[in-house]
Every structure is written in structure tokens, then in C-alpha cells.
């Protein structure tokens, strides 16, 4: 189901900005699958704004890193920026804001879990950033980006997880079910100096994700990430479906 236009004020609140020209925001949320199916309603998709937003975001992150970390060399700055603007990180930020709840999708994308796809979420976030820039200029865009990225930046610079999937999934379970997810070590392979751990995540006995890594913590992060990304595929009467139904309600901040 597509979001109602009169509900976009909730997204503006989550973003921390009020659009003067709302069509910039509507275009940012319009996937090409929707514009193809509804050319009269939303003739323009978000791809052009995504193109602009990618550059605006990269510039603002570059400026912040340059000023905040004078001791980092060019290589370290480039690595930090790349990790901050990659698809996974952007999708995580988009989920925190609740962008997925407001996307305009075609029937096919809706049915295949488009609201949970990292690619669609990251593209939409970049398009929203472009919309803010076109609507209110560079300074306002800088402030909005920093509001949502500033706590991530030191984690990335220190080479920690840019987005904490484990905590995000844990909070969802506690809020909706009053329980914590359980992580089980499935196996560990390789020599002692180069072990690979495989962890499984379950909620109320239902396995929702599996991940691997060179530490148990890394494997847990990957399992939580998989659980978040693939909830859409858990349709039915199980826990995964219940989580998904709750997740798609409008996000209140």
C-alpha cells in the first residue's frame, strides 16, 4: 500500500526539516516502478535526484571529515567516506528515519519487499538529500545530514560497525514481544589463528538469520543484518511476519 500524502509530515519530522516545495520530497520517494505504472499521478521518479544527492552527500561528508579529523591522511579520509556513503550504511540510516514506510512503489516492487531492500532505501535517502538541497540550500542540507550521520562517523573512523544491526534488532524484539533474540553458535571452522564463526539468530524458536565472521560478535552482526533484510520473505503466521507487520507502521520519533 502506498503512503498517504497527508502523512508525509511524519517523515518531515523524522528528517528534521519542513519542505517548502513538497514535490521535491514526493519525487524523492517515487520509485521508477511506481511512476511507470502511474504516469499521471507521479510522472517523475527519483533517479535524477538520487544522482544529485549522491554528490551532495559525498561533499558534505568530505567537508565534515576534513574539518573534524585533521590528522587523518587522504587514504584514511577516503576510506571513512566510502564506508559512510555505501549502500549498507545509507540503508541503515534510511531505516532509522523510516523512509521505507513512505516509498511509492509499483505492485511488483511492493510484492517483492521493495520497502526493505537496501538498494531502494539508499537510493531514496540520496534523493531525499537532493530534495532538501533543492528546496532549502546547502546549509540546511548540511545540518540535516549531520543530524543523522554524526554519531556514525566516529564509529566508522575507528573501524567499528557503521550501523549496529544487532542493537536495532534487539530493540525491535524487546519493544514488540518483550523478549530478546537468541544467538546460537552453529560451527567454527579453520585454524586457531584464523577461525570463522557461524551464528544463528532466532526469536521464540524461529530462525530469522545466519551470519559468519572472524569473531562471534561479527557473526552476530551479520545474522542480525540478514534478519532485518529478509523479514519481508517471512510471510506467514510466524514471528518474522509479526515483526514485519509492526515494522511497516509509521515510525514515531
Q: What is the mean pLDDT of the chain?
A: 84
Q: Count CA atoms within 13 Å of residue 105 on its CB side.
A: 20
- pLDDT of amino acid 236: 43
Given pLDDT bands bounded at 50, 70 and 90, which one contains residue 1?
very low
- Cα dist from 93 to 29, 71, 222, whole Å: 15, 27, 17
- pLDDT of amino acid 30: 92
Convert 123-154 into a string of H (helix), E (strand) and C (coil).
HHHHHHHHHHHHHHCHHHHHHHHHHHHCCHHH
Cβ-proximal residues to 23 (8 Å cutoff; 6+ apart), any chain:
none
pTM score of the predicted model: 0.64
Across the range 24-45, mean pLDDT stands at 83
Given pLDDT bands bounded at 50, 70 and 90, which one contains residue 19?
very high
* Torsion angle of the four alpha carbons 227, 87, 216, 245, in this order, in degrees rounded to the nearest 10: -20
159 burial level (CB within 10 Å; 0-12, 13-18, 19+): exposed
Which residues are identified as catalytic?
Answer: 54, 126
Sheet containing strand 206-213, edge to edge, reads: 182-189, 196-203, 206-213
Asked if residue 2 has pLDDT above 90, the reply is no
Asked if residue 206 has pLDDT above 80, the reply is yes
- pLDDT of amino acid 184: 96
- pLDDT of amino acid 14: 95
118 in Cβ contact with 229 (< 8 Å): yes
Q: Extract the C-alpha cell encoding 231.
A: 523479514
Give the pLDDT confidence of 78-137 residue by residue, as tens digits.
889 988 998 889 999 999 999 999 999 888 888 888 888 888 999 999 999 999 999 999
- pLDDT of amino acid 6: 62
Give the pLDDT confidence of 49-62 residue by residue, as tens digits.
999 999 999 999 99
- pLDDT of amino acid 247: 42
- pLDDT of amino acid 249: 36
Which conformational region is residue 231 in: left (phi greater than 0), alpha (psi within -120 to 50 degrees), or beta? alpha
- pLDDT of amino acid 252: 35
Across the range 192-215, mean pLDDT stands at 88
Give the rounded percent of residues in the chain with a pLDDT score beyond 90: 47
Distance of CA 24 to the CA centre of its chain: 20
Identify the structural domains of the chain with CATH numbers, from first to last. 5-157 (1.10.1520.10), 165-247 (3.30.160.20)
Residue 212 β-bridge partners: 198
Most confident of 9-13, 126-130, 179-183: 126-130
Amino acid at each position: 500500500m502506498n503512503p498517504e500524502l497527508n502523512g508525509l509530515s511524519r517523515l518531515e519530522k523524522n528528517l528534521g526539516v519542513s519542505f517548502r516545495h513538497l514535490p521535491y520530497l514526493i519525487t524523492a520517494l517515487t520509485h521508477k516502478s511506481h511512476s511507470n505504472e502511474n504516469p499521471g499521478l507521479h510522472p517523475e521518479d527519483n533517479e535524477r535526484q538520487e544522482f544529485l544527492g549522491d554528490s551532495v552527500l559525498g561533499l558534505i561528508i568530505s567537508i565534515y571529515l576534513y574539518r573534524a579529523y585533521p590528522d587523518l591522511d587522504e587514504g584514511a579520509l577516503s576510506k571513512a567516506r566510502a564506508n559512510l556513503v555505501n549502500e549498507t550504511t545509507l540503508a541503515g540510516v534510511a531505516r532509522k528515519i523510516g523512509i521505507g514506510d513512505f516509498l511509492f512503489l509499483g505492485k511488483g516492487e511492493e510484492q517483492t519487499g521493495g520497502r526493505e531492500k537496501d538498494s531502494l532505501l539508499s537510493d531514496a535517502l540520496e534523493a531525499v538529500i537532493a530534495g532538501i538541497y533543492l528546496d532549502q540550500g546547502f546549509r540546511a542540507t548540511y545540518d540535516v545530514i549531520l543530524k543523522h550521520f554524526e554519531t556514525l562517523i566516529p564509529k566508522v573512523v575507528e573501524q567499528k560497525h557503521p550501523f549496529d544491526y544487532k542493537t536495532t534488532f534487539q530493540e525491535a524484539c524487546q519493544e514488540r514481544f518483550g523478549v530478546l533474540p537468541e544467538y546460537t553458535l552453529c560451527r567454527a571452522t579453520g585454524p586457531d589463528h584464523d577461525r570463522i564463526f557461524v551464528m544463528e539468530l532466532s526469536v521464540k524458536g524461529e530462525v530469522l538469520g545466519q551470519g559468519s565472521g572472524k569473531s562471534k560478535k561479527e557473526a552476530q552482526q551479520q545474522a542480525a543484518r540478514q534478519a532485518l533484510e529478509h523479514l519481508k520473505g517471512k510471510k506467514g503466521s510466524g514471528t518474522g511476519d509479526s515483526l514485519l507487520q509492526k515494522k511497516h507502521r509509521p515510525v514515531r520519533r
